Structure 1
Amino acid sequence: MNTSEERSAGADDWTVAVNGWDPEKVTHHGNLFLLGNGCMGYRGTLEEFGPDEKVGILIPGLYDRVGDAWREPVNAPNALFTRIAINGKWLNPLDIKPDAHQQSLDLRTATHRRLTRFTVDGVRVLLSAERFLSADKVNLMAMQFVIEIQGQAEVTVETGIDQRIWDLNGPHLEGFSASQVDGTLLLESSTHEKGEPVAVAERALWQSKVPVGSETVDGSMRRWQFSADGSVSLALEKVATVHTSLDQHGVTDIDELACRELAVASEAGYKKLHAAHREVWEQRWNRADITIDGDREGQNALRYSIYQLLSAAPFHSEHLSIPARALSGQVYKGAIFWDTEIFMLPFFLATFPEVARNLVRYRIHTLDGAKEKAREYGHVGAFYPWEGQEGGFDACTLFNVTDVFTHRPMRTYFRDKQIHISGDVAWAVWRYVQVTGDHVLLWSGGFEVMLECARFFLSWAYRTSDDKHFVLLDVTGPDEYHERVNNNAYTNYLVRHCVRAMLEAARIMAESDPEKFSELASALGFNDAERDCLQDFADRLHLPQPNPRNGIIEQFDGYFQLEDCSLDQLKGRIIDPNEYLGGGSGLATTTCILKQADTVLATFLFDDIFSPAQKEANWNFYEPRTEHGSSLSACVYSLVATEIGKPDFAYEYFLKTATIDLHGNSKQHVGTLYIGGTHPAANGGAWMVAVLGFAGLNLLPDQVRFRPRLPSQWNGLCFSFCWQGLLASVSIDNDVIEVHADPTNSSPIPCAFDGTLQHCQPGQVLSLPFV
């Protein structure tokens, strides 16, 4: 790290802070200090920054395309833009080196702060600011900006709504129209592709008597000029609202909606708005926080990971999900990947099942797009997108990577061969039902999703020549370095699981309400003949088996015939640090080197199928051959390492996962494609390792099972969980597990440990000793 900068965790493990100024870290800090409330994301940039510094106010779910460029989410104009000039010189640490600088993020209250000291022409200036995106009113943002001046100077303060917008493939907004009414600045615009309206409203109010001259307004900017003499302290409060067509809810004019909400918020004032916001975050932390005894670095990294998940979560909507780069920017087209179901959903299932329901409902709402994609490729059922945008549209192109040597686009098979995405979605639907007991979701679209995914898999499958088995050919598994393979183990095991889960859901629904299910089945065209056909498909689907000699599962047909070089040998062949290792001519394609966990992920997800010895054999074989070129990888190896008696190795990969955005040392390019931003899948993976791995929590349909295996770095662990609508907190040390059932629970929680089942009654503390 640059010696001018030092990152710290803060005295109470609730703060992430950077002391010192390093211009090379501006992009990283935009990710590190990201604010979010599910409706908007505000990158951790300084108030005086603009598009060159990647200022971004991301609106998830609102997409736009310009020409032949990729469709991506829209960034809104920056309503908190503020800058100061002393004697005509604008204060910006990129232009004037600051005497001191600190930037911080309060995880407890989701509040961003900065403090920067300048000396200009002998005049000392201290700028401090605090801002938040409201968790109480999700279209609202607010800021306090304080200016302290020592000396004589001509001062200019400029603030307003910055129309300069950072886009990767824009410009996405056009037709800007600025107006001012009763102290409110309003900036209206619309998207390029579909003309979707975007309205930003802003108010600015000085909080003390200041030597401010008359205000002038130029478009969407306000300006004050005055003379400072001696000691001057100024405090400016700003409140703003951002509304788009996503927020209309029957409202014809979103500009009126933006102004009306702003008027109410301005009347309340910054302190009350911030208090309401803090109250929401306090409630969320009461449910989601984890405390670790004995490991300050792990504690802060885990809290930061949880913060990122909560910041991106759509608490307010079932028509949004969490993009692969959360709300940190337009990378990966702001699209929804399978990351959400496999790596983020488990956290929400155990902490906020209402958010888990929203994430699953999002896939139900986008089923039509998945069915359309299946038809596009000549299949029936639902083929869910690799990069999902609104309506289930797959934004993934056929040429996703550029060759760094020829500068030509490379054909990739992410879009058309990763059939496991439909399995990941169906897995999530069934997992949600199992953990929450919410069978209503099955009746309101969940079963239909599972059925259409099963139909798709059958339509993709082939029968072997002897008619004994079904096989899944020409697919790409999680390991994207090996495309168009046959019988990828992860995919095949997942498909069988999902088809059988659909059949089990059908049985349960038919038994609970035969008449209602008969009507639903008729509407979906599902009959006994199709049920039997899908049952036969699941029973006869080929599953790559562990080798009886060594227990290793071949990742796909022919994998063991590839060159078995070491990772160091492969890296020694790299010419350009950004060259893509997969694809038709990638260095890894003809070798056994994987991009990320693949077969080992299958051994984790389907815990009941594989023995501990088989898990260990596959972990030992595949781990040295895995590049971990994806942020989805390290947590999987960490999880399985806890199961096979390697908790200290698991801890190393836990830290790698949990600190990925704190350190900012993740892969930034694939070929020439920029893929920077935050990593919510890794954030979810860190939680999974802590709770599902080290604490050994397993939320089963009929019981909650514990199998703790804490790393040597931890003396204890405390967390909470929700199961079947019941709440409990857990504390684990080296001798005992204590389960505290919430006194408001309506029934006991069946807790299993070491083969013994006990029921934790409402309000009871259940102690389970272990060695």
Structure 2
Amino acid sequence: MQRIFEVDPWHLISHQLDDKSKLLQESLTSIGNGYMGMRGMFAEDYSGTTHAGIYIGGVWFPDRTVVGWWKNGYPEYFGKVINAVNFAKVNFWLNDEKVDLAKNQISDFTLDLDMQHGELRRQFTVTKGTARVQITITRFVSIVQKELFVLHYNFRNLGQAPVKLQIDSALDGNVYNQDANYHEQFWQVKSRQQSMTAGLLVAKTKPNPFATPRYTTAMHMTNATTLTPQATPETNQQVVNRFNGELAVGATTDFEKRVIVTTSRDYADQQAVIAAAKKISQQVAQQTYTELETAQQQAWTVRWQQADIKINGDTAAQQGIRFNLFQLFSTYYGEDNRLNIGPKGFTGEKYGGATYWDTEAFALPLYLAVAPTTVSEHLLEYRYNQLPGAVHNAQAQGLQGALFPMVTFNGIESHNEWEITFEEIHRNGTIAYAIYNYTNYTGDETYLREKGIDVLVGIARFWADRVHFSQRKQQYMIHGVTGPNEYENNVNNNWYTNLLARWTLQYTLASLPKTTTAKQTKLAVSTAEKAQWQDIIDHMYLPEDEKLGIFEQQDTYLDKDIQPVTAIPAAQRPINQHWSWDKILRSPYIKQADVLQGIWYFIDQFSPAVKQRNFDFYEPLTVHESSLSPSVHAILAADLHYEAKAVEMYQRTARLDLDNYNNDTNDGLHITSMTGSWLAIVQGFAGMRVRDGQLHFAPFLPQDWQSYQFQINFRGHLLNIEVTKTGTTVNLQSGSALTIDLDGQQLELNSGKPFVD
């Protein structure tokens, strides 16, 4: 664990400028608005350790897959997020000496991520000879105007003599990727325009054989209250506006930079991208900085009013849940159904910025409850729109139906590791489960009937072709897979994968009669095909050990040398950073919930005894080296009344990045797993379930907490639930009368009349 920020309910505050923790600091102070975002790097050049990353949603690069031994079915290309033009760049000089926070004498340093208002602030004092200047910097990416980035500086002369001040504001196209392609450039500067107080730079991705190149335009407008704009020499890859002046003793001056970013995702060509940037900049120019900042703060207030979770008695837990919600909403709020939630969001380049199965499994339940319904609908439409790509993926494997990708930007699989591309096919079941989850929560079958059924049939046809029938056991099996536990590859009959395959076939058969005759005719699921699906359902092999009374993770798992995680020396944790891959694969240790993932999905279908035996067996073998792991264990522990374990797992998922649990946050945050803290509280501590269309709660209060409070949207009703040491209060804040189940008691709620247990 590594904690570098103070514990505060609404802020990440540090007074330390430590180069050793600079990358972690940058990750944790990332900001975004769903359209674009950036790490918390300094806008100024910094000669120490830094990863200056700016990323734009949906702007990526397909690169040819290169492997030593090509295998049929490999994706032709793999996708990667690309570091965008550095439009945040600002440098300044005091008495003709450039300020570099890695080298200069810095005092009174404060870094503050204000999660309540969506702003990142810095303040520090620079001493250079006789000059002593305090600099206060505020930045935000607007959630009101998606193309807008704002950067505001205030300079105050604290010395005893006037100070000469120079500021250079740049749009810099000389950028590199720092993850999969070290020091590789993807942008070519195509056009530059410059005036004394504004500039525009157009860049185009370098040619590739797999996709149309993208244009992006960054246009900045600069303004200094007392400084004079100066002409600057032209460079091939930058546009620079320079301001010079003198700062009298005790005087202050402000400098503001506004940037508009447009891309060819939204506009037809280079000229249209430029025209759009200029038009939006003219609109934004009508507002003052104070007006822009106020609008940003008010928009974040609205989001928090719907989604905030309040914890009384544990400030670290409170900070953790708010940090996770802030970063989630900074990454995705559903405005664009062409976008999805990358595991690192806008905070780094690892995982290529692509979409994984994490969204359907872990993010959808949260967005269903705390955001407008359109947000969840867009997540589902994202997959529906990419159904042709899923069909292509299946065909590339020589299979029928649809195989949704493990990693993608456009529906085509773009992961080049064989155990992922070919084997981790359980993701297909989670895509189907998301349709069920949405329909079960909202009670609205419109999407299922009109679009979801196409996805379900495609996935069902894949499973029906992927299974094989064992003549020896007279059962259907699925060989050669990797389950959610990625610390075992190429296994046979992973219980979770087989369970989801069987369930998908069941759900698809049950859903077909709900569609129109025309839709059923178009899908052309024959009587023989339905009979085949039913036969697979009836005879699917699910490995189980009767003696232990548990579901076996996969064939031969129990033949391993089963020892608990406590047998691993502390100096060898995490094992993925200390052991060879061969040793990990031979070990019994589980990266993340596997069998328990399936039990979580269908938590009401298993008896308490079955859940307990499986949890007691598998949790002690789990190293939780996936960010997705703790939340599942927290929910199941709470369901089993293992309250101490539930709280332990909540703390891990809530502060996974804030405390750098797995020593891997330097290269970016674990965005999709950040839903885990919400899931642990709402589905875990509060025991929220939807059964037969009714909302159920079975709350408990962690021993060290005084209370917790959250809100959810459910079928047109807004509910506020507060759990204290004396009981539970449920308040229907809007919507018609609603009957819920609270600890087995049927309650009829009416708006404005809270129920107090």
**Corresponding position of 1:690:** 681
| Deviation, structure 1 residue 164 | 3.0
**Corresponding position of 2:655:** 659
**Corresponding position of 1:237:** 256
Instruction: Check the 8 A contact 2:198/2:241 in 1, yes or no.
Output: no
Task: From 461, 471, 481, give the equivalent of 1:465.
Answer: 471
**Whole-angstrom distance in 1 between the partners of 2:96 and 2:195:** 29
Partner letter of residue 214 of structure 1?
Q
Task: From 357, 362, 365, give the equivalent of 1:346.
Answer: 365
| Deviation, structure 1 residue 440 | 2.1
| Deviation, structure 1 residue 224 | 2.1
**Corresponding position of 1:382:** 402
Change (3 A) 1:617 1:434: same
Instruction: Check the 8 A contact 2:150/2:259 in 1, yes or no.
Output: yes
Deviations 1:558-596 (A, max 9, x none): 10001224435555896997658575xx21212211111
**Corresponding position of 1:401:** none
Instruction: Check the 8 A contact 1:100/1:118 in 2, yes or no.
Output: no
**Corresponding position of 1:214:** 230
| Deviation, structure 1 residue 176 | 3.9
The alignment's TM-score, normalised by the length of structure 1, stands at 0.90
Instruction: Check the 8 A contact 2:197/2:241 in 1, yes or no.
Output: no
SS of match in other structure, 1:310:
helix
- Can you give the 5+ residue segments of structure 1 that lack an aligned partner in the other structure? 399-411, 510-516, 670-674
**Whole-angstrom distance in 2 between the partners of 1:224 and 1:142:** 18
| Deviation, structure 1 residue 442 | 2.0
**Corresponding position of 2:73:** none
**Corresponding position of 1:7:** 5
SS of match in other structure, 1:79:
coil
Alignment of 1:195-594 (within 5 A): 195-206=213-224, 208=225, 210-212=226-228, 214-216=230-232, 218=234, 219-248=238-267, 253-352=272-371, 353-389=373-409, 391-398=410-417, 412-466=418-472, 468-509=474-515, 517-545=516-544, 547-567=545-565, 569=567, 586-594=582-590
Task: From 64, 67, 86, give the equivalent of 2:94.
Answer: 86
Instruction: Check the 8 A contact 2:574/2:625 in 1, yes or no.
Output: no
SS of match in other structure, 2:52:
coil
**Corresponding position of 1:108:** 116
**Whole-angstrom distance in 2 between the partners of 1:579 and 1:285:** 37
**Corresponding position of 2:103:** 95
1:679 aligns with 2:670: yes
RMSD: 2.4
Change (3 A) 1:175 1:79: closer
The alignment's TM-score, normalised by the length of structure 2, stands at 0.92
Partner letter of residue 212 of structure 1?
T
Deviations 1:413-455 (A, max 9, x none): 0111011011011101111111112322124421111111111
Task: From 708, 722, 729, give the equivalent of 1:731.
Answer: 722
Change (3 A) 1:124 1:31: same
**Whole-angstrom distance in 2 between the partners of 1:759 and 1:572:** 52
**Corresponding position of 2:72:** none
Change (3 A) 1:274 1:573: closer
Deviations 1:329-364 (A, max 9, x none): 221011111111111111101111321111111111
**Whole-angstrom distance in 1 between the partners of 2:96 and 2:172:** 20
Instruction: Check the 8 A contact 1:63/1:71 in 2, yes or no.
Output: yes
**Corresponding position of 1:163:** 173
Change (3 A) 1:701 1:83: farther
**Whole-angstrom distance in 1 between the partners of 2:37 and 2:60:** 15
Change (3 A) 1:652 1:574: closer
Change (3 A) 1:417 1:482: same
Change (3 A) 1:251 1:755: farther
Change (3 A) 1:130 1:646: same
Instruction: Check the 8 A contact 2:169/2:242 in 1, yes or no.
Output: yes
**Whole-angstrom distance in 2 between the partners of 1:95 and 1:103:** 18
**Whole-angstrom distance in 2 between the partners of 1:67 and 1:77:** 23
**Corresponding position of 1:755:** 744
Deviations 1:655-704 (A, max 9, x none): 111112212343439xxxxx831112331011100111001111345100
Change (3 A) 1:211 1:548: closer
Instruction: Check the 8 A contact 1:521/1:527 in 2, yes or no.
Output: no
Q: Which has the higher contact order (CA 8 A, sep 6+)?
A: 2
Which stretch shifts more, 680-689 or 171-180? Answer: 171-180
Deviations 1:134-185 (A, max 9, x none): 1111111112111112333332211121223241323111134210258431
Instruction: Check the 8 A contact 2:652/2:661 in 1, yes or no.
Output: no
SS of match in other structure, 2:100:
coil
| Deviation, structure 1 residue 211 | 4.9
Change (3 A) 1:174 1:214: closer
Partner letter of residue 479 of structure 1?
N
Instruction: Check the 8 A contact 1:216/1:222 in 2, yes or no.
Output: yes
**Whole-angstrom distance in 2 between the partners of 1:621 and 1:722:** 36
Matched-pair identity in %? 26
Deviations 1:2-45 (A, max 9, x none): 9xx952133xx111111121011221111111111111111111
| Deviation, structure 1 residue 759 | 2.7
| Deviation, structure 1 residue 308 | 1.2
Partner letter of residue 112 of structure 1?
L
Change (3 A) 1:269 1:247: farther
Change (3 A) 1:153 1:678: same
